[in-house]
Amino acid sequence: MSSLLLSGGKVASSLGQVEADVLIEDGRIVRVEPRLAGSADEVVDVSGLVVMPGGIDTQVHFREPGAEHKEDLATGSLGAVFGGITTTFEMPNTNPTTTTREALEDKLARAEGRSWTNYAFFVGASAENVGELAELENAPGTPGIKIFMGSSTGTLLVPDDETLREVLRHGRRPCPVHAEDHFRLEARKSLLDPARGAGQHPFLRDEEAARLATERLIALCAETGRPVHVLHVSTLQELPMLRNAKASGLPVTCEVTPQHLTLSAPDAYDRLGTLAQMNPPIRTEEHRLALWQAVSEGLFDVFGSDHAPHTLPEKAKPYPQSPSGLTGVQTMLPLLLDHAAQGRLTLETIVRMLCERPTSLYGIANKGRIAPGYDADLAVVDPLARRTVERSWIRSKSGWSPFEGMTLTGRVVHTMVGGRFAVRDGELAGQASGRMVEFDWKP
């Protein structure tokens, strides 16, 4: 039986930070107590550092299969562990799409032995697989069913209320939803002026497209009783609807990304051009400030990166031929730590939204907390250390970040997955040891 002791640090939860050592045996946490006595095979001094549960990123696009030139399961998960993320949920808009049991099992097989993070894969809803969704959502290795109301192609697009209603009626687990109104997006394409570049992106995919979709989704949640999870909320107009839905007891949850909390228009598009292009868009400062107010109120349930890489040559295409999507899984926790250092949120809020709440939302077994019996998936951070985001640090195959040049306060020192170092003293350690996530979801 191998054992490791993290000694001299503080242990973080949503309730606060306490001075405690963490004893790990065979990949599990066995004791969390101050000044643990006794022997361990290895003792690691983490004095001055904070030990937190490894981050759980419930929205990543690792592009495999079908677009491995942008990213794959190995490179995407490698970037994740450098950023203190130990579990990733990957989205179904690959090629082929993840809409069948066979496609899901193919992804699980691809991840085994190659993923640095623990992994699970969403199944995508479509008109063609509605009848199988209730069975598919309970397959091993999936957190459930993802719905695209807009910003997708082919069979993954569920644009109309009739199909969406049927999808929601076939199953019980929470459904994450990309909520932009497909019909409004299509109608607005004729209004674009190609000469004006990527700064038009929030005009094309305007606030009303998000508001309409979220309004429709909440109404169908009330009608069907199906839990829904609104991804990457980006507008101030959606916030009152989400507050009211939660206040009325509807099973509605929601996510916010560090991109929408950190960047704003027009500055982001002036500086970055298409490198700031994502769906839903980076919006003006009034939306960013409204999102921060909602964070402070506790409206949002989780942080998600929506890591969606494209190569620099692809991004260099003229708008709107340029693809939407930013890298983000590696920079999510460092950005959040920097916002905490600036007083915009607390480390306790980060742990709640990035570690604890994802486990209860999706029924993740044995993760998200530092307590006896839990998996030793850990991020050890220095909340005072500073790092400038440089391209050489980014591990994504796409090789860039919209946050290049930013100096962030808060740094991931070690990342452990299943009790093994994936990153140690900021350097790669060991081998890819991620495992399929197990779920104990209960309605």
Residue 363 Cα distances to 14, 246, 367, 439, 441, angstroms:
18, 20, 10, 5, 4
Q: Which pLDDT score, from 0 to 100, does residue 319 have?
A: 96
| Opening angle at CA 19, ends 15 and 22, nearest 5 | 95
Give the tokens for residue 204: 């094309």
For the chain, list the domains and their CATH numbers: 3-51+371-385+408-428 (2.30.40.10), 54-362 (3.20.20.140)
Is residue 433 within 8 Å of residue 360, measured between CB atoms? no
CA separation for the pair 150, 147 (Å, rounded): 9
- Concerning whether 306 is annotated as a catalytic residue, the answer is yes
> Quick one: pLDDT at residue 1?
63
For the chain (length 443 residues), average pLDDT per consecutive 10? 92 98 97 87 96 98 98 98 98 97 98 98 97 97 97 86 98 98 95 91 97 98 98 98 98 98 98 98 98 98 98 97 97 98 98 98 97 98 98 97 98 98 97 96 67
Task: State which amino acid sits at residue 68.
Answer: E
The sheet carrying 228-230 orders its strands as 123-124, 145-148, 175-178, 228-230, 252-256, 302-303
Nearest-CA neighbor of 238 among 277, 205, 212, 206? Answer: 212
pLDDT of amino acid 176: 98
CB-side neighbour CA atoms (13 Å) of 18:
12
Please give the Cα distance from 147 to 430 (Å, whole number): 36
Among the options 306, 375, 377, 382, which is catalytic? Answer: 306
Number of residues in the chain: 443
Give the tokens for residue 133: 């969704």
Identify the pLDDT of residue 152: 75
Cα distances from 115 to residues 90, 110, 120, in angstroms, run: 12, 9, 11
